Structure 1
C-alpha cells in the first residue's frame, strides 16, 4: 500500500508525498501539498492557541 499523504521535512524544508527520511525530521501527514508547505505556520498557530488556552486555565 502506497502512502499518498504529504509531509514536510524539517531539515531541508522539502515537501514530499509519502514518508521519506527520518520520522524525527518529518511533520505530517497533511492532506495535500499546499497544506504540507504551511507545516511550520500551522505548528506556530497551534502552539499560540495552546499557549492562550494554558493562560486561561
Structure 2
C-alpha cells in the first residue's frame, strides 16, 4: 500500500496527524496541510452554520 502523506484531524487524539494511523471513524479529512487539519473543527462548525442558514 502506498504511503499516505495527507493530513487528517483525529477526534480521538484531538490533533492533526499525517497519514491514516487512526481508525477511519476518528479521522476528519484529508486536508492539504497540517495548518488546515488543525482547523478541522472550525471548518466543520462554519460549514454547519452555513447549512443551517440555508435550511431557514
Q: What is the TM-score normalised by the length of structure 2?
A: 0.91
The number of equivalent residue pairs is 55
| RMSD of equivalent CA atoms | 0.8
Deviation (angstroms), 1:5: 0.8
Find the counterpart in structure 1 of residue 34 from structure 2: 33
Find the counterpart in structure 2 of residue 9 from structure 1: 10
Structure 1, residues 2-46: CA drift from partner, whole Å, max 9, x if none? 111100000221211111111111100000000000000000000
28-37 vs 7-16, which deviates more? 7-16
29-38 vs 1-10, which deviates more? 1-10
Deviation beyond 3 Å, 4+ runs, structure 1 = none
Gaps of 5+ in 2: none
Gaps of 5+ in 1: none
Q: What is the TM-score normalised by the length of structure 1?
A: 0.89
